[in-house]
Structure 1
Amino acid sequence: MQRSSASRLLAVAAVPEPLEKGARFPRAVWPSHVTIASNFFVDASPTDVVDAVRAVCLSAGPIAIRFEGMAWFGRDENIPVQLVDSAQIVALHEQLADVLEALPLFEAEEPPYWRAGYRPHMTHVAGRDTPGGAELILRHVVIADVEGADATVLDGFSL
């Protein structure tokens, strides 16, 4: 599939606290989040993407997660994450995949991490972890525009 020059690299994450639209931060130090749809390219307007994500996520309501053990993610296995257990997150990922993959020129940046390869996890800023078994409620979803070493919150909403 040929990506157009208008394609954007985006990601969808659930967060415990809201992030302001337009907030920009280095990708290496995202605020704590659970990725629901990992990086993907799409040739659709930001409004169309946000509307598609909102249509799926608003019916989900707040998302309960339970922390499990630590793991290393990324191509070089150098990104510390904490695995989470949540059937709700897995179901939401599948629903988002259905909707996002239907958008024009959709392409997952790392296809092995979609659908059956999806492993729910919370990426933490260094030094912050949560004991296994602890629970957290995620009440917000953000759609981020990922460009180079930075990410910018395109939009977000409460669940």
Structure 2
Amino acid sequence: MIRYTVAAFPEPLAVGSVVERQRWPAHITLAGNFFAAVTESRVVARVLSALGSIDTIEVVLGECVLFGASRDIPVLRADSAELRALHERLAGELSQLDGFTEDEPQFWCDAFVPHLTLGSTVSARPGEAVRIASVAVSRIVGGEAVVIGEIRASGGRDSN
């Protein structure tokens, strides 16, 4: 089984980019970590099917809260009906993949809360606006994420 994630970024990440997960750039998770027993191209195809083309989305960041199973990951809420709709479409498509399993099911579907994850490379404040430029599909290998597909806002696509 291979582990994947889908996230929205203010700055696009090119297909093939390798990012240390502790140093993720600013992003809003759209589909938290999940496992699937299919090829990368099948995962990317499902994401493309779910999202098609996307328009630029602007989100005003909300309060700082702690997320994660241990409640130790600082995030800023990014409440948005558009982001919730993207998650719902992704959850519906991805759940049809062979071997699909959410890494942390308690954060999927009705429990999904859009948020911008803070960290050593991300500084943002409540009230700041974030504009989503792309959505990246990444394969997770240990502490790294490898971008295997991307959808740019306003319809531009790039995938392997």
TM-score for both structures, normalised by structure 1: 0.89
Distance 1:111 1:75 in 2: 10
Matches of 2:125 and 2:24 in 1, distance apart?
20
Residues 1:43 and 2:20 are matched in the alignment: no
Match of 2:130 in 1: 136
Percent identity between the aligned chains? 33
**Could you say which residue in structure 1 is the equivalent of 2:93?**
99
Q: Tell me the number of residue pairs that the alignment of Structure 1 and Structure 2 aligns.
A: 153
What is the CA RMSD across the aligned residues, in angstroms?
1.5
Query: Structure 1 residue 71 and structure 2 residue 54: aligned?
Result: no
C-alpha distance in 2 between matches for 1:59 and 1:128:
27
Tell me the secondary structure at the aligned position of residue 62 of structure 2. Answer: strand
> Which residue does the alignment assign to 1:4?
none
Deviations 1:129-148 (A, max 9, x none): 33323222102010111122
1:152 alignment partner in structure 2: 146
The 8 Å contact of residues 73 and 81 in structure 1, kept in 2 or not, is answered as yes
Aligned residue in 2 for 1:116: 110
SS state of the match for residue 45, structure 2?
A: helix
Structure 2 residue 48 is matched with structure 1 residue 57: no
**Structure 1 segments unaligned to the other structure (5+ residues):** 1-6
Aligned match of 2:11: 17
Query: Is the 1:68–1:84 Cα contact (8 Å) retained in structure 2?
Result: yes
SS of the aligned residue for 1:126 comes to: coil
Shift of 1:158: 0.4
> Which is worse superposed, 127-136 or 59-68?
127-136
Task: State the match for 1:90 in structure 2.
Answer: 84
Cα distance, 1:127 vs. partner?
Answer: 6.7
| Contact persistence 2:36–2:99 (CA under 8 A) | yes
Bigger drift between 10-19 and 116-125 goes to 116-125
- TM-superposed deviation, 1:157: 2.2
1:30/1:124 contact within 8 Å kept: no
Q: Aligned pair in 2 of structure 1 residues 128, 10: CA closer, same or farther (>3 Å)?
A: closer
Contact residue 72 and residue 78 of structure 1 kept, 8 A: yes
Structure 2 unaligned runs (5+)? 154-160
State the SS of the aligned residue for 2:106: helix
In the aligned structure 1, how far is the partner of 2:79 from the partner of 2:60? 5
